[in-house]
Structure 1
């Protein structure tokens, strides 16, 4: 899968702004971004649901539409309507029958965690159950690339755990699982690779540890007690300074050197040192006011 100089605009908004990206087969890849950062547009381009204004998008060496028609791609999108008067098993069997080499229906239902719902009508399910039916439909064709847009939004904690167990197992078969999510802890725990998109551009690409390092490896916080905040940015290791309600937070690449320098200034008051979280990295990497 590859994006090369890909641009998509809506009026004056550049929802995807010159993206260059390649993803090799296999593993799990998370797409993170604020609301409106360009995640859904990127997925639409990947699936051939919309055309780029310039640049190219390729799947398996050709246009996305060809891979979708060949059954090599499965997708679970955020918006879908329940089908009336059919059972879960009937729906998944119908979809599977449209593919050249589908999963057995029972296996698709098992992977989606709804093996016990095969005889239930689709239009009489809870929100979480309906979400898992959409996953079973996406899995039905045994796709080489599975694209999931906010897949766990309607699931409870237990269902999320079961979902990710299934997805890791599916990826271990050599498939690629690409998912967007608002849950940073999910990306950190379950993605081999994390892509952060902001204002239509890829602003970070790596593992959770890579992202944390890119934003500064540690956070040093303490009470200012009269210490001049402007001098803090000059301390060794410090990459960013935030002062709020008399307490300073320093993002630093070298917490030991930063703390020793603070001690030399006599500025160690209610000191705390903690590793940067993925949330910290995400906030440092993204713009506070996205356009989409």
Structure 2
């Protein structure tokens, strides 16, 4: 059994004259939960498409569980939820699920699959009558029908409400506990921070950071100081401050030396009301890393 679920070496993808993926190397071990992050055009979806064999790279190699992508998909080793995937509009959920499960030699037991993905009660419903969140859960059930060891998700919660997102990621944690490798691309960085074992940040088709969420956040220096202030509060020339903003009675300061910054605020007689000091968030880190890469 291969040690890695995914081996990508020198992957280069072009869409006409556009270089979408620029020679990336990536190894993902079996059982990992990995978030692919980055702005639009960073190369996330193109990388996922190359792993699924949906496009032919200009250069480089992709191995999925030590198979070529198309072979791995045909063998039922990969399940996928794509951002622009669809369901047959005139079919009922149960019919589609039955058809997909029949295509695998060892499908996921129906009762457990329905319970795991939360689609109970939807069997008789036409696909066109599903809400956005219901549709995503049905697509997840189809992706899992063959019990794939690798699951690829491209913006999986984009149509879900808060409750639906929480239920979805609870399911992902359960799958990871069973040994499924989960690789997902998302713009919801709080989800990546809460769920992923590992974060891979892409910008301009290249990997600009790869590590745990804590490791990626630590790559960005500075802390954020937030406090309530009056309009006449003097926030000029504070030590350590890289940037200062006022937002409806709240000051947001980015500083490399929060103790020195707060000491001067106290010396100026500015009350430290509603004070909050925190390190860089994952969103701060990704924005800094991707902006720097673009420059």
Q: Of residues 3, 16, 21 in structure 2, which corresponds to 1:11?
A: 16
Aligned residues: 280
Against the structure 1 CA distance between its residues 269 and 203, is the aligned structure 2 distance closer, same or farther, given a 3 Å change threshold?
farther
Q: Of residues 54, 62, 68 in structure 2, which corresponds to 1:57?
A: 62
Give 5+ residue unaligned stretches, structure 2: 1-5
TM normalised by structure 2 equals 0.84
CA deviations over 1:203-229 (Å, ceiling 9, x no partner) = 111222112111126224689947458
Q: Is the 8 A contact 1:7 1:19 kept in 2?
A: yes
2:243 matched residue in structure 1: 242
Equivalent positions of 1:1-292 (< 5 A) are 1-216=6-221, 218-220=223-225, 225=234, 227-228=236-237, 235=240, 241-244=242-245, 249-252=253-256, 255-256=258-259, 258-259=260-261, 263=264, 273-287=277-291
Q: Is the 8 A contact 2:94 2:124 kept in 1?
A: yes
Q: Is the 8 A contact 2:222 2:254 kept in 1?
A: no
Mean Cα deviation higher: 161-170 or 82-91:
82-91
CA deviations over 1:245-266 (Å, ceiling 9, x no partner) = 69773353x644x548x749x6
After superposition, the CA RMSD in angstroms is: 2.8
Q: Is the 8 A contact 1:35 1:290 kept in 2?
A: no
Q: Is the 8 A contact 2:255 2:261 kept in 1?
A: no
Against the structure 1 CA distance between its residues 226 and 169, is the aligned structure 2 distance closer, same or farther, given a 3 Å change threshold?
closer
Against the structure 1 CA distance between its residues 97 and 197, is the aligned structure 2 distance closer, same or farther, given a 3 Å change threshold?
same
4+ residue runs over 4 A deviation:
220-224, 226-229, 243-248, 266-272, 288-291
* Separation (CA, whole Å) in 1 of partners of 2:26 and 2:269: 44
Give 5+ residue unaligned stretches, structure 1: none
* Separation (CA, whole Å) in 2 of partners of 1:268 and 1:5: 57
Against the structure 1 CA distance between its residues 126 and 288, is the aligned structure 2 distance closer, same or farther, given a 3 Å change threshold?
farther
